[in-house]
């Protein structure tokens, strides 16, 4: 028989049954729960979901800020054998509708601050039948709580989370569904190495594996640690940092629903005293620019013993400046949605700045040429990964699944080289995808939006590094005839209106024409060179937009 495993009971119930129920599981501006309290909340939400008719292996899409409610919902969905699908809270209503339709979702969980966009999305996703509406989390500034929900289509039954949880507390059957280690537990949508969003399917076993491998091998995490992540729960990176790692260890997660800023994070660190800080390189750069006091993070004034970076390559300069200014080492690593978390990382006291480190115990990496042969140390090639936590594949994406998941190996889409002493260094990617602020951006999607503007005849979007070495989307645009007044801020604003804000071009450069091949295909490498030259020329036509 298959190996029985339910990730929810592994992460929470185990601690209660072993006598650790009174330890703090989750805290933060939105509330505090012990392990016993979290276990009870999860059981009640699970019972309420069963009453709504949620079936094993059915997808439950979630758009919500980080809070005990979202954490309990993720765990409750897995507890009843259904599939948790937390999605990016920065998506527009139209983008959310596409994911709801792709997942064939019937159940949709929404926290109050996203109700309007979610109502728009649900209206365009005809298979949605139930919306569970949560409150606006406490600690979310400038967002009113309470009030009447937006109007959902008549076909949709709207249930308040508080009412469902209270009702669920009265049901007697709180037993978890008997899932197996190989049962699906979690979908995470990613653009990854292709432009189209697709759901990576993860097993219960994957969650247990990542909750043990990296935290033990790299972080040496214990029940006394407190984890604070700038990356949110809908990211694979944030889900590990704020849920899988601390809960598996019996530690405490600090959930913050607010959008992170350097000053806000400094305040949270002072108030909630995290020992482990997780962020992306662009945020560490922002912390440096904020001129915070040197004692903000490291002991004796600060609580942070280690900082972690992933999502994009951490430039060596940011590592050194952060270490020198704040006295905390940043452990940079590479992970992916397909592998669920970090699989190559630097270690405390052994950091080689500018590298991703060495493979995490249990993972195997290889660098191969175009023919699939391993290359010698020092030579560039495609990074492949043998990962016990690899996804089963992408939902309904057979062709791309076969390209990325090749037997035991996962093709990451990154170009790397390995040094003779075993450290891996990222040289770029094998595709034109852009990773801005740790989030994948599809150039074709941004180009498509730009081309909807009447003032744009042609558009090409590329990724360029800023002064810190962080990658940003840059657009080269050919104005449509008769529209000389089209401006860069206008086009950036137009992209903001139709796309998630992180996808917008940070800079728009106007050019007379775009370079193409003899067959008319865009020469994206040449576009990058043109953009670099224009940006280097202070008299160029580019307009920098913050």
User: Three-state DSSP class for 543?
Assistant: strand
Percent of the chain at pLDDT exceeding 70: 95
Report pLDDT digits (tens) over 350-376.
999 999 999 999 999 999 998 999 999
244 neighbors 205 (Cβ within 8 angstroms) = no
pLDDT at 234: 96
Concatenate the DSSP letters of all residues of 204-272 into one string.
Answer: HHHHHHHHHHHIIIII---TT-EEEESS-TTSHHHHIIIIIHHHHHT-EEE---SPP-HHHHHHHHHHH
In the structure, what pLDDT confidence band is assigned to residue 523 with cuts at 50, 70 and 90? confident
Cα-Cα-Cα-Cα dihedral sign, residues 281, 283, 289, 290: negative
81: which 2 tokens? 């054998």
Residue 226 contacts residue 254 (beta carbons within 8 Å): yes
- Please name which of 354, 521, 334, 344 lies closest in space to residue 435, comparing C-alpha atoms: 334
| pLDDT of 539 | 42
Q: Does domain 442-544 sit in CATH 3.30.300.30?
A: yes
What pLDDT is stored for residue 148 in this prediction?
66
Residue 271 has pLDDT above 80, yes or no: yes
Residue 518 has pLDDT above 60, yes or no: no
Query: Which pLDDT does position 538 carry in this prediction?
Result: 45
| Superfamily per CATH, domain 200-429 | ANL, N-terminal domain (3.40.50.12780)
Question: How big is the CA angle at 274 (ends 268 and 275), to the nearest 5 degrees?
Answer: 150
Q: Residue 11: name the closest of 63, 91, 84, 102 by CA.
A: 84
Query: Of the spans 314-323, 387-396, 468-477, which averages the highest pLDDT?
Result: 387-396
Confidence of residue 172 (pLDDT cuts 50, 70, 90): low
Q: What is the pLDDT of residue 436?
A: 84
For residues 213-218, give the mean pLDDT. 98
pLDDT at residue number 431: 75
Name the β-bridge partners of 200: 188, 394
Burial 337-355 (b: 16+ CB within 10 A, else e): bbbbbbbbbbbeeebbebb
> What CATH number does the domain located at 7-180 have?
3.40.50.980
Topology alike, domains 200-429 and 442-544: no
Q: What pLDDT does residue 192 have?
A: 57
pLDDT value of position 120: 94
CA dist 153 and 120 (Å) reads 9
Q: What mean pLDDT is predicted for residues 316-323?
A: 91
Asked whether residue 545 carries a pLDDT value surpassing 50, the answer given is: no
- The set of residues, in sequence order, having a beta carbon less than 8 Å from that of 448 and lying 6+ positions away, is none
Q: Which of 53-67, 389-403, 526-540 has the lowest mean pLDDT?
A: 526-540
pLDDT digits (tens, 9 = 90+) for 131-149: 999 999 998 877 765 566 6
Q: Which residue ranges make up each domain of the chain?
A: 7-180, 200-429, 442-544
The reported pLDDT for the residue numbered 145 is: 59
Convert the pLDDT of each residue in 15-59 to its tens digit: 999 999 999 999 999 999 999 999 999 999 999 999 999 999 999
pTM for the predicted model, two decimal places:
0.86
Least confident piece of the model among 4-13, 191-200, 325-334: 191-200
Question: How is residue 279 written in tokens?
Answer: 């962020």
Mean pLDDT of the chain: 92
């Amino acid at each position: 028989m298959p190996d029985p495993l339910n990730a929810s009971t592994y992460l929470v119930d185990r601690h209660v049954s072993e006598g650790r129920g009174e330890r703090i599981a989750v805290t933060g501006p939105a509330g505090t729960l012990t392990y016993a309290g979290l276990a009870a909340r999860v059981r009640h939400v699970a019972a309420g979901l069963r009453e709504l008719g949620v079936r094993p292996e059915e997808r439950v899409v979630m758009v919500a800020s980080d809070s005990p409610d979202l954490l309990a919902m993720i765990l409750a969905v897995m507890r009843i054998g259904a599939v948790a699908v937390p999605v990016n809270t920065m998506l527009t209503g139209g983008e959310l509708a596409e994911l709801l339709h792709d997942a064939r979702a019937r159940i949709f969980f929404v926290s109050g601050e996203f109700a309007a966009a979610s109502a728009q999305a649900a209206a365009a996703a005809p298979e949605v039948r139930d919306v569970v509406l949560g409150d606006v989390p406490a600690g979310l500034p400038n967002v009113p709580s309470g009030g009447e929900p937006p109007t959902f289509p008549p076909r949709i039954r709207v249930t308040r989370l508080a009412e469902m949880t209270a009702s669920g507390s009265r049901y007697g059957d709180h037993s978890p569904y008997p899932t197996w280690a190989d049962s699906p537990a979690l979908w995470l949508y990613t653009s990854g190495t292709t432009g189209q969003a697709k759901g990576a399917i993860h097993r219960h076993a994957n969650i247990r594996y990542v909750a043990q491998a990296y935290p033990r091998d790299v972080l040496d995490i214990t029940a006394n640690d407190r984890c604070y992540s700038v990356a949110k729960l809908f990211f694979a990176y944030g889900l590990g940092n704020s849920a899988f790692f601390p809960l598996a260890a019996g530690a405490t997660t600090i959930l913050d629903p607010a959008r992170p800023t350097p000053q806000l994070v400094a305040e949270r660190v002072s108030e909630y005293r995290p020992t482990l800080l997780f962020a992306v390189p662009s945020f560490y750069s922002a912390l440096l620019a904020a001129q915070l006091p040197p004692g903000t993070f490291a002991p004796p004034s600060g609580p942070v013993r280690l900082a972690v970076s992933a999502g994009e390559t951490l430039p060596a300069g940011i590592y050194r400046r952060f270490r020198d200014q704040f006295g905390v080492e940043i452990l940079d690593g590479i992970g992916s949605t397909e592998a669920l978390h970090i699989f190559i990382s630097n270690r405390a006291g052994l950091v080689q700045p500018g590298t991703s480190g060495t493979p995490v115990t249990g993972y195997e990496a290889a660098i191969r040429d175009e023919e699939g042969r391993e290359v010698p140390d020092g030579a560039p090639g495609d990074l492949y990964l043998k990962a016990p936590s690899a996804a089963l594949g992408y939902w309904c994406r057979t062709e791309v699944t076969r390209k990325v998941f090749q037997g035991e190996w996962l093709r990451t889409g990154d170009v790397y080289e390995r040094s003779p002493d075993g450290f891996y260094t990222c040289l770029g990617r094998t595709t034109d995808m852009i990773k801005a602020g740790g989030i994948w951006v599809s150039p074709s999607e941004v180009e498509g939006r730009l081309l909807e503007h009447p003032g744009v005849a042609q558009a090409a979007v590329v990724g360029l590094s800023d002064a810190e070495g962080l990658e940003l989307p840059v657009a080269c645009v050919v104005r449509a005839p008769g529209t000389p007044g089209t401006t860069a801020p206008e086009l950036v604003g137009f992209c903001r209106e139709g796309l998630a804000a992180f996808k917008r071009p940070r800079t728009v450069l106007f050019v007379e024409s775009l370079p193409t091949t003899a067959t008319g295909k865009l020469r994206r490498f040449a576009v990058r060179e043109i953009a670099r030259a224009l940006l280097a020329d202070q008299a160029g036509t580019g307009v920098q937009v913050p």
